[in-house]
């Protein structure tokens, strides 16, 4: 476990003041935006990632391979030791690959399922076990994708993995509601981050932006705002949902 040197302590005020939060995949992209937003709301955040967070207001960091059962269990235990109680767990770790169905090899398929689907299952399971042990309820928030609902050309492995994220979230919501634990999936649309930057063009951005009635792509903060709401007391009656954060690209 490491912490960012010189990082200021979480503010005393905010909707999530003092709440222990774990963010998997919190070092980059949407996850990094989530870390910043939750810290600004007073949460104490531990990041689980293969990459160390740089310049983020974290209470701790555990290097974690989310596709490995032992790594996830050990990392969550370390995070819980720092935070005391992990009330909110956010699964934002994920990888992406573009290829037509006929050109998607089995190794690529398996790797994407291992990180995106299995990783979400493993961390969701750890969160459920922890919350059952400590009592008092909590939140599990899993980052899926618009592709989970409507697919996406050249995204067969990714779309399938994110559909699995939605399914895991709904089953856990059914099982854990009696313990005061809510579980939801969030389905962002196009949010330009480091993931996919090597293949994304200006033409892509213009074309995707035109799909939204708002005429723009999403940002990590657009996603983080919904997550903060769902993690707060105001979000206590929402569970088993797959929320679109797409700027109107998806309306169901």
Residue of 228, 224, 220 lying closest to 19 (CA atoms): 228
* In contact, 243 and 187? CB cutoff 8 Å: yes
Sheet with 20-24, side-by-side order of all strands: 60-63, 44-49, 20-24, 88-91, 138-143, 181-188, 242-245
Q: How far is CA 180 from the centre of its chain?
A: 20
Torsions phi, psi of 220, nearest 5?
-55, -35
DSSP for residue 103: G
Q: What positions carry a catalytic annotation?
A: 158
């Amino acid at each position: 476990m490491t912490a960012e040197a010189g990082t200021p302590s979480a503010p005393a005020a905010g909707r999530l003041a003092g709440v222990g939060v774990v963010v998997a995949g919190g070092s980059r992209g949407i996850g990094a935006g989530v870390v910043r937003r939750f810290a600004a709301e007073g949460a104490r955040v531990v990041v689980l990632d293969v990459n160390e967070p740089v310049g983020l207001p974290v209470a701790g960091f555990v290097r974690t391979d989310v596709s490995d059962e032992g790594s996830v269990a050990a990392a969550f235990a370390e995070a819980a030791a720092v935070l005391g109680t992990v009330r909110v767990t956010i699964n934002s770790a994920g990888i992406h690959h573009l290829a037509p169905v006929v050109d998607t090899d089995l190794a690529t398929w398996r790797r994407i399922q291992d990180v995106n689907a299995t990783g979400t299952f493993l961390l969701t399971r750890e969160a459920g076990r922890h919350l059952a042990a400590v009592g008092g309820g909590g939140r599990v928030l899993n980052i899926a994708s618009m592709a989970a609902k409507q697919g996406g050309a050249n995204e067969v492995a990714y779309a399938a993995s994110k559909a699995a994220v939605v399914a895991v979230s709904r089953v856990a919501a059914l099982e854990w509601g009696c313990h005061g634990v809510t579980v939801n999936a969030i389905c962002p649309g196009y949010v330009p981050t480091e993931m996919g930057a090597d293949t994304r063009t200006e033409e892509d951005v213009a074309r995707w932006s035109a799909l939204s009635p708002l005429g723009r792509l999403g940002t990590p903060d657009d996603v983080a705002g919904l997550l903060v709401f769902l993690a707060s007391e105001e979000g206590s009656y929402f569970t088993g949902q797959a929320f679109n954060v797409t700027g109107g690209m998806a309306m169901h």
